[in-house]
Amino acid sequence: MEKILSVTLGVALLVAAAAPAEDVAAEEVEVFPGDPIVITAIGEPARESEVPFGIKAITAADLQLLAADNLAEGLARAEGVYVREYGGAGAIKTVAVRGALANQTLVMVDGQPINNHQGGDVDFNAVALEDVERVEVMAGASSALYGANATAGVVNVITRGVPDKPMVKIGGRYGSYDEKGADLAAGVPFGPAGVTLGGNYRSSDGFRENDDYEGKGGHLKFSYAVGEEATVSVRGQYQTSELGVPGPLSFPSPSARQEDDFTSANASFDGALTERLSANARLNFKNQERHYVNRDPSFAADDTHKNDALGGRAAFFYQLLKWNRLALGGEYEKDKTDSTKIGKRDGDTWAAFTQEDLRFGELTTVLGLRYDSSGIYGDAFSPRLGVRYRFNDYVSARAAAGRGFRAPTFDELFWPDTGFGPGNPDLKPEYSWTYEAGPAFWWRQRLKVDLTYFYSDYEDLISGWPPKNVSRAVVQGVEAGIEAAPLAALPGLEIALAGTFLKTKVKPPKGEKEKTREQLDYRPVHTEFAELRYRHDFGGGAFALTPSVSTEIVGRQQYTDYDPVTFGPFKAWLDAYVLLNARLAFRIYYPEIYVAGKNLTAEEYQTIYDYPMPGRTFDAGLAVSF
């Protein structure tokens, strides 16, 4: 820990010392390259450079240049994020933030949570990429604003808004393993209102036996501008898929099939009510259904799981004084499950929260507190504090501390005894305290550097089966993110770097002595991401050539295996791996053609033991925008 902290502070001092000495007028300096407006950090729009919490915005263009097949793949661009995958096109993909598990990260679409309350996971194949405007990834305990499951962070997908003029984009693609895809995105404004809509289709034969996938869906959003500073929106989405479930290599399931359906609808208001008062509010519904069938007599199953969630949230922001902005809000959600495994279950949760945004000159301070009450797991208090200070036009520093919690899932509470023990209805929520600090450096519009040291202390971790609140753990590390446009002579050249160095430790319950220095499973000791891309426009803007290359480096990670004779557990390690990807696109007026390759070195690797990943793959496509 001391080494990590020393490195962080040392780099911070070097960054501060390296700040250019010449006096440049503030209006000539863009605070960060592309300093985006983000809404997830404090619940309302704010500049990324002004908020005291670590947040990363990934745009639709970023996802396209990475040739991402689904949202999870694109999130690897953010520091602190690691993507775990169980295989090819339709396989489960989960996102881990700062060494957490998937059910410790809250995932939202336009502020609507989409985590499955039965299992806690998220099906990223249900997020329509063609409707994504940007994704905001906030690392650190965020339960003070968003409640349960924001233990390690929040991923918020922001969908497309109404364009300034009518637009249509149609695309198609073909790739390895007979993969086919098509998508449509359109938007039409009319007066103060507008509509956006889209659809998608994707299929693949897969690279293993029983690894095929077919998915399709559509979405529609209607928006109406109320005056100049407020918008009312209604959005609906439906996504369905059918896939094979090949299982692990040791126990394959060549006849297992799965069908997934995802339906969501929400209505929202966002904007100013008076000169000093603004609000955002939403009502939302989601339905997730899964049907799993395995005809193998040794593992026979025919299960259906239906999950519904109905809820709403409202937050009001009032400018008390020029330097003081107060937020008050509440949230309610009713969860229902009808499952062949756990029967009919339901529970409701209500919450109240408040937040103070204080700004004195170059100092920004945000304080938050939330109270959650659940009929299933009881009560939870979640405070949060963040501070950012801007020293000059080039250097700032921030620090934050917050408490997070994860509610036990319905499966963990109510799963029947299928030979390995039942669920545990007496489970309590997991809790964590996270502390983080670090500097940020920027130079004009050429360079942005973010460094963060973080320390998370988890209590009452739910582990083992039957599940129990027995474990404690510490997760600490350093995150680094760099964005650069290094050459004035080549304004289209951009470089992005992200890295995370992680150290985990399982601690005994309070009152017991530590016996071993056990680590947490499936936490890579380091992950790095690098991307180089260049856009060259010529012919008066009629043509554009855009090559991009990216690489992802993942260190080794521990997992738990079981002896085939004694069934006793033992620790083993997955090997480190390096992935190299590339994409080349050429636009001629409206059409754009591209070719992309992934895992170009044909690396053999696994992110989950016994679930191999595809080798070298290629795909090519055509998109037309007008």
In a domain, 192, yes or no: no
In a domain, 521, yes or no: yes
**Distance, CA of 404 to CA of 408 (rounded, Å):** 13
The confidence score (pLDDT) of residue 472 equals: 86
- Indicate which CATH number applies to the domain containing 561: 2.40.170.20
The confidence score (pLDDT) of residue 511 equals: 66
Start-to-end C-alpha separation, the chain: 54
The maximal CA–CA distance of the chain, rounded, in angstroms, is 76
**Distance, CA of 461 to CA of 468 (rounded, Å):** 8
Domain region containing 142:
2-182+199-272+282-625
Name the region of 42 (left: φ>0; alpha: ψ -120 to 50; beta: rest).
alpha
In a domain, 193, yes or no: no
CB atoms within 10 A of CB 626: 10
In a domain, 191, yes or no: no
**Distance, CA of 564 to CA of 184 (rounded, Å):** 49
The confidence score (pLDDT) of residue 12 equals: 35
Name the region of 458 (left: φ>0; alpha: ψ -120 to 50; beta: rest).
beta
The sign of the CA dihedral 37, 38, 42, 45 is positive
AA letter at 64: Q
User: Do 41 and 160 touch, CB atoms closer than 8 A?
Assistant: no
CB atoms within 10 A of CB 57: 19
DSSP string, 432-492: EEEEEEEEEEEETTTEEEEEEEEEEEEEEEEETTTTEEEEEEEEEEEEEEEEE---TT-TT
Residues whose CB falls within 8 Å of the CB of residue 185, separated by 6 or more in sequence, listed in order: 130, 131, 160, 167, 168, 169, 196, 197, 198
Structural domain count of the chain: 1
In a domain, 210, yes or no: yes
Residues whose CB falls within 8 Å of the CB of residue 414, separated by 6 or more in sequence, listed in order: 342, 343, 345, 423, 425
Please state the pTM of the whole predicted model.
0.91
**Distance, CA of 469 to CA of 425 (rounded, Å):** 11
**Distance, CA of 286 to CA of 307 (rounded, Å):** 8
The confidence score (pLDDT) of residue 509 equals: 65
Regions of the chain with pLDDT less than 70: 1-34, 509-516
CA distances from 316 to 2, 244, 278 (A): 42, 46, 6
In a domain, 211, yes or no: yes
In a domain, 145, yes or no: yes
User: Do 128 and 237 touch, CB atoms closer than 8 A?
Assistant: yes
Establish whether the linkage from the previous residue to 422 is cis, with ω within 30° of 0. no
AA letter at 499: G
In a domain, 239, yes or no: yes
**Distance, CA of 291 to CA of 261 (rounded, Å):** 9
